[in-house]
């Protein structure tokens, strides 16, 4: 089932909201990571820079054929051979990745899902012990130019609580400011 309010505007508008490489680095992605997964890759806004950072493969999952095609085409155009794009419903079927198989998981602009706890549990399952989860979400502020409705938009503390309940340990004291419109958390799967 496609996550509520997860449709995308046109690519140029979407990408005007982000500084993807800076964001990924602030969210703990580094060259020390081999493999990564993105839940809901959209246009590949974060998949492509992540693939330039990691030493291995980035798995990019999306339910929409158009998004799968867009991300795959970008990877090809960029000469990246380490992006594995997959059309799949991660709500209904999970990621399909083995337990403890990736070093870094991305839950970016997706935790307004109906059951965020299940996405967090799946991220924990696929992460290696000591692996990192990067979370980014729209600020809890009705004046942002996009983002989920306020009644399903989480405050930073709520996302932290859900992630900790799913078995993550928070790796930063405060939410990370990702201007102009986002915040983030870095979480670790305990060893
Ligand atoms: C708001 S976009 C975020 C895209 C990307 N993470 C980013 O921040 O640029 C959410 C994406 O998740 C995808 N999506 C929503 N529900 C999904 C599901 N159940 N399984 C796989 N992909 C899903 C949507 O098609 C959309 O491309």
Residue-level pLDDT, tens digit, the chain, 191 residues = 999 999 999 999 999 999 999 999 999 999 999 999 999 999 999 999 999 999 999 999 999 999 999 999 999 999 999 999 999 999 999 999 999 999 999 999 999 999 999 999 999 999 999 999 999 999 999 999 999 999 999 999 999 999 999 999 999 999 999 999 999 999 999 99
> Does residue 174 form part of some domain?
yes
Residue 98 lies in a domain: yes
In a domain, 138, yes or no: yes
- In a domain? residue 47: yes
Say how many Å lie between the CA of residue 110 and the centre of ligand 1: 6
For 23, the token pair is: 């964001």
Question: Residues with Cβ within 6 A of ligand 1?
Answer: 1-3, 6, 8, 38, 40-42, 45-46, 61-64, 67, 89-91, 108-110
Q: What is the CA radius of gyration of the chain?
A: 15
Cα(164) to centroid(ligand 1), Å: 23
Q: Would residue 6 count as lying in a domain?
A: no
Q: In this structure, is residue 1 part of a structural domain?
A: no
CATH number of the domain where residue 26 is located: 3.40.50.150
Q: Would you state the pLDDT for residue 155?
A: 98
Does any domain span residue 3?
A: no
Which ligand 1 atom is the nearest neighbour of the CA of 2?
16
The whole-number pLDDT of residue 38 equals: 98
Q: Which pLDDT score is estimated for 106? A: 99
CB atoms near residue 188 (< 10 Å): 17
Measured distance CA(145)–CA(78) in Å, rounded: 29
Q: Which residue has the tokens 């990745």?
A: 97
Residue 4 located in a structural domain: no
Using an 8 Å Cβ cutoff, are 133 and 186 in contact? yes
Counting the structural domains of the chain, the total is 1
DSSP string, 128-143: EEEEEEEEEEE-S-TT
- Residue 137: give the domain boundaries: 11-188
């Amino acid at each position: 089932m496609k996550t509520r309010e997860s449709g995308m505007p046109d690519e140029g508008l979407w990408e005007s909201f982000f500084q993807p490489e800076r964001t990924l680095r602030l969210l703990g992605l580094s060259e020390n990571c081999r493999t990564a997964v993105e839940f809901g890759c959209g246009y590949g806004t974060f998949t492509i820079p992540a693939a330039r950072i990691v030493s291995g493969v980035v798995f990019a999952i999306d339910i929409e054929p158009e998004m799968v095609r867009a991300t795959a085409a970008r990877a090809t155009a960029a000469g990246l051979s380490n992006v594995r794009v997959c059309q799949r419903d991660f709500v209904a079927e999970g990621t399909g990745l083995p337990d403890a198989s990736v070093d870094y998981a991305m839950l970016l602009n997706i935790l307004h899902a109906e059951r965020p706890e299940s996405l967090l549990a799946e991220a924990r399952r696929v992460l290696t012990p000591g692996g990192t989860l990067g979370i980014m979400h729209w600020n809890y502020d009705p004046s942002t130019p996009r983002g989920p409705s306020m009644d399903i938009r989480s405050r930073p503390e709520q996302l932290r609580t859900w992630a900790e309940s799913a078995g993550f340990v928070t790796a930063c004291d405060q939410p990370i400011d990702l201007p102009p419109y986002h915040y983030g958390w870095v979480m670790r799967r305990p060893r």
